[in-house]
Amino acid sequence: MNTNDAYEKIIQEWNREPIRNTDDLDVRLSNFRVLFAYHSNVVENPETTLHDTREIFENGKVTGYTGSTRTLFELQNQKFCYEYLKPRIVEGDPVTPELICKIHEVLMRGCYDEARYNKGERPGKYKIHDFVTGDNIGSAPETVEEEIRELCEEVAEAEGDPLTIGAYLHLIFETIHPFADGNGRAGRTLMNYYLMTHDHPPIILFDDDKRTYYLALAVFDKTGELKGFREFLKEETVRTWTKDRGEGRPRLADLI
C-alpha cells in the first residue's frame, strides 16, 4: 500500500468512532501520548529515554534515576500538558494566544534555560530579547504578540484540509519563534492539538527523522514552500499509526 492510500485509511479509521469524552481520548491515545512525549522531548534533550517517559506517564515517578532533574521536569510537564489539553480537545476549543501561552507555561515550568531565565524570560510569556535560532532569530519581540494573534485568527477562519492548516500553523509558529526557549516542543504540541480538534489523528515526529524535520522547517523558512513539510507529516502520520512501528525492537547494529 502506498503512502497516500495508507494515509487515507488511517484518517478513515480515526474518524470511525467519535471521541465523546476524555475517557475515550485516553483509550485512543493510550500508547501515543507516551511515544509523542518521548520523541518530542528527545529531539531537544538526548538524555530522555522511553523507559523514563513511560514511568512518568503510567506511575508518576521514576525509580533508580541518576540523570538530570531537568529531564524529569520536562517529562512530567509533558504529562501535565496532556492532562490540561484533554477536555479542550474533546470540546474542540479553538487555538488562541491564551492557549498557546498556557501550553508553553505548562511544558516549560521548572526547566527553562537558566541563562535566558536570568535575563527575565519566563514560561508562558513572549520573549523580550532576540535569540538566534539556526539562520533565523524569529520575529522581533515587539511584534510577536500581534503576529501570534493574527496567526490564531487566520487559522480559526481557515477551511479545508486539516493537515495543510496544521502544517501551516506549525511552520508559522516556528518562524515567529515567540518564546525564548521551548518553541519546538510547544509548536509540536500545538499542531497536534489543532489536528485533533479537526478530526485528524495526532502525529509523532520521530527522533530518527529529525534531520528531515529540521530540513523541512529550513526550506519553508527560506522559500515559503509548504508542500514538502505536508508530505513529511503525511509520512509521519502513517508511521505513527501503523501497528508495527518497531518501537522498542532491537536494531541489528546494536547486536553485532
Is the predicted pLDDT of residue 248 greater than 60, yes or no?
no
Q: Kindly state whether residue 49 falls inside one of the protein's structural domains.
A: yes
Cα(22)–Cα(195) distance, integer angstroms: 16
Instruction: Encode 150-186: b = buried (16+ Cβ within 10 Å), e = exposed.
Output: ebbeebeeeeeebbebbbbbbbbbbbbbbbbbbbbbb
Percentage of the chain modeled with pLDDT above 70 = 93
Cα(43)–Cα(49) distance, integer angstroms: 11
Residue 34 maps to which CATH number? 1.10.3290.10
Q: Kindly state whether residue 158 falls inside one of the protein's structural domains.
A: yes
Cα(196)–Cα(163) distance, integer angstroms: 10
Q: Kindly state whether residue 12 falls inside one of the protein's structural domains.
A: no
Whether the CB-CB separation of 151 and 175 falls below 8 Å is answered with: no
The whole-number pLDDT of residue 253 equals 41
pLDDT in tens, 62-118: 887 878 889 999 999 999 999 999 999 999 999 999 999 999 999 999 999 999 999
- Domain range spanning residue 182? 18-245
Specify the number of domains making up the chain.
Answer: 1
Here the contacts of 96-103 (C-beta below 8 Å, separation 24 or greater) are 96/152, 97/145, 97/148, 97/149, 97/152, 99/193, 100/148, 100/152, 100/173, 100/178, 100/186, 100/190, 101/125, 101/126, 103/186, 103/189, 103/190, 103/193
pLDDT in tens, 43-65: 989 999 999 999 999 988 888 78
Q: Kindly state whether residue 103 falls inside one of the protein's structural domains.
A: yes
Q: Kindly state whether residue 256 falls inside one of the protein's structural domains.
A: no
pLDDT in tens, 111-160: 999 999 999 999 999 999 987 666 667 899 999 999 999 999 999 999 99
Cα(120)–Cα(72) distance, integer angstroms: 23
Cell reading at 189: 504540541
